[in-house]
Amino acid sequence: MEGCKAGDRKMQELLYKQTASKMLAVCMRYAKDRMEAEDVLQMGYIKVFQKIKEYRGEGSFEGWIRRVMVNTAIESYRKNLRSLNVVEIDEAYEQPSTGFDFSRLGMQDLMKVIQKLADGYRIVFNMYVIEGYSHKEIGETLGISEGASKSQLSRARAILKEEIIKMEGFGYATYTG
């Protein structure tokens, strides 16, 4: 880390090699495809190296890099001017909570269905379920209401459940329950 702070290219390359595969996985959750994820990854590392002096040693360094990647993915999403398919919570049809256990699904299968989600659903799902943002934080970050965030999450879960059930019917998913 000290070498990276000093601008040492070899140390930057070493940090990249040690963390890039994990960070690509983070970027893949937010991107539509691998090419977009790789673009976000590259932009993210540019920010990491530009802002590394701001890292204060609070929490893990890898966690700090991960946060930079998530923020870069969200910024990229906003910059590309994709419109969220936002439905306010009171306008959304009632989606009962089914208690479906996504954790029992194989990671590759889950990644495939997450990437199929519409942009708004995918971003909110990742921010809430994987990154642990609150609906209030999601709303502030994306410029939508808390209710819209909740609606997006509910709809994303319903779509994921439908897709997983379809996969099970064709024997692709590893989910057994």
Range with lowest mean pLDDT among 8-12, 78-82, 165-169: 78-82
The domain boundary, picked from 25, 47, 79, lies at: 79
Whether the per-residue pLDDT at 49 is higher than 70: the answer is yes
- CA atoms of 1 and 127, how far apart (whole Å): 27
107 within some domain: yes
CATH of the domain at 153: 1.10.10.10
Range of the domain at 146: 102-169
Together in a domain, 68 and 10: yes
Of 79, 110, 136, the residue that ends a domain is 79
Note the pTM of the prediction, 2 decimals: 0.65
Q: Is residue 174 part of a domain?
A: no
Q: Which of 39, 51, 71 is nearest to 4 (CA)?
A: 51
Q: What is the average pLDDT score of the chain? A: 81
* pLDDT at residue 20, rounded to an integer: 95
Q: Confirm if 138 and 84 have CB atoms less than 8 A apart.
A: no
Of 20-24, 150-154, 158-162, 170-174, least confident by mean pLDDT is 170-174
In a domain, 90, yes or no: no
Q: What is the mean pLDDT of residues 23-48?
A: 92
Residues 51 and 111 in one domain: no
| 61 inside domain | yes
Question: Is 92 inside any structural domain?
Answer: no
Model confidence pLDDT, tens digit, residues 57-108:
888 999 999 999 999 998 888 776 554 444 444 444 444 444 445 555 566 7
* Count of the separate structural domains present in the chain: 2
Residue 73 shares a structural domain with residue 121: no
The Cα–Cα gap between 19 and 76 comes to 20
86 within some domain: no
Longest dimension (CA), the chain: 55
The reply to whether 93 falls in a domain is no
Q: Within this chain, do residues 71 and 15 fall inside the same structural domain, yes or no?
A: yes
